[in-house]
Structure 1
Amino acid sequence: MNMPGQKIGEAIKAVLDVIGIGLKYTIKPERLTVYYPYEVPDYMGRIRGWIGLLTEKCTSCMICARVCPTNAIKMYMEKNGRRYPGIDYGRCIMCHYCIDACPTFALYPTDIRDLAFYRHEDMMYTPDMMREPPKVPKLVDKVVKVVHEYSKGTVVKVKTGEVK
């Protein structure tokens, strides 16, 4: 039988456990936080970037839109009567299935990985916007690359250095 005092004791223990965890991570933080834009994670080539479009190669086959697992690609009607893909980067998971599926290589990958947006509307790229890579503004003069090392799912060591 649960006594009212027993429930209060369990609640106090739970609160103290949470405070203890907070103090532990205050003293010895185990986080993956980077101080953007002063620090950027070094993905070591393991992340894909912005997707470009060569409309002169596109045949409007819509395979890219059909293969997209998140429905991030929408076909836009252009003045020449053809449809070209546009990408909603709010939905895109950068899997690049669209690039792999394109039979004419009209979609291509780029090295631009720093896609930060102020508004949701800015995440929607029309075919006109995809023809040229986005202009990534230089926010600060000195940027430090940050590398995280892991062991059994936790951060073991954080190295900073290698100024770009």
Structure 2
Amino acid sequence: MGLEVDFEKISEEISTSVENLAPEKKRFYRVTTPSLGPSVVRNIEAITTGLKYVIRPMRITIDYPRQVLEQPPWYRGMFRLLENVCIGCSLCDII
């Protein structure tokens, strides 16, 4: 009751149909898989970069109450005036 398939007959039909094609329509494509080398190297580089940032202590963080960050002599503080309410009074130059 099952469906019986004659694979030899099918393969012969396929080969004859391919042979009957015009020469300009016969095209063969070469399929290659990319090598794993470059992708593995990139992944390892990314993992090592991430581990460097996890393991290395942060340089920006200081122990604020006990250690004050030294400012350069030309530093005059931060603006207390808001940029979005600027009226052009040049008060920020005076600070």
| TM-score above 0.5, yes or no | no
Alignment TM-score, normalising by the size of structure 1: 0.26
Alignment TM-score, normalising by the size of structure 2: 0.38
More strand by share: 1
Rg larger in structure: 2
More helix by share: 2
